[in-house]
Amino acid sequence: MCGQLYLQEHALATQLKTLLQSVSLPREEILKMESKINEWENKNISSRGSDVQNLKDKIRGNQEKLDKLVSIYLDGDIERKIYLERKDLLMREKASLLESERGFGQQRKNWVEPLRSFVLSLKECADLEKSENYLEWKTFF
């Protein structure tokens, strides 16, 4: 059996409203935060695009070197031992570049989403502060 006293709905609503007021921000501040997040996201997307392009250029350059090396070897201009050493170096470099390309997308996958989610929670909190719909409060908390 619980020894706690019952809490009336009105008293609970007052406590929750006080809690909402303590964590909510003015609407203008939330809008400023959203615009800054959008700016960061756009900057991040353009930065990622140029980084990916640089990586693809390096991969293409590596493949061209490999093709030239094979061509030189087939023409008989270099010895087999030298060919194998250089091929090994180029293949390792290519594997490293491909791994970087694969990991690049996963590593920087939209780092602003947690921040955007937080700001949306702040916006929802500001809206709930003005509302008397207790069902919405329940889903928020």
Mean pLDDT by 10 residues, the chain (141 residues): 71 78 80 89 76 88 93 90 93 91 66 83 79 72 69
* pTM attached to this predicted model: 0.52
Residue 12: predicted pLDDT: 75
Residue 92: predicted pLDDT: 94
Kindly state the tokens that stand for 109.
């996958």
- Tens digit of pLDDT for each residue in 61-87? 999 999 999 999 998 899 999 999 999
Q: Print burial letters for 45-58: b (CB count within 10 Å at least 16), e (below 16).
A: eeeeeeeeeeeeeb
Q: Could you tell me if 97 and 63 are in contact, meaning their C-beta atoms sit under 8 angstroms apart?
A: no
Query: How far apart are alpha carbons 76 and 78 in whole angstroms?
Result: 6
Query: How far apart are alpha carbons 137 and 140 in whole angstroms?
Result: 5
DSSP state of 5: P
Residue 1: predicted pLDDT: 61
Cβ–Cβ contacts within 10 Å for residue 79, how many? Answer: 10
The alpha-helical segments, DSSP class H, found in the chain are 9-23, 27-74, 80-107, 113-130, 134-140
Query: How far apart are alpha carbons 58 and 73 in whole angstroms?
Result: 23
Q: Which residue has the tokens 């690049």?
A: 104
Who's near 122: CB < 8 A, 6+ residues apart? 23, 24, 25, 30, 33
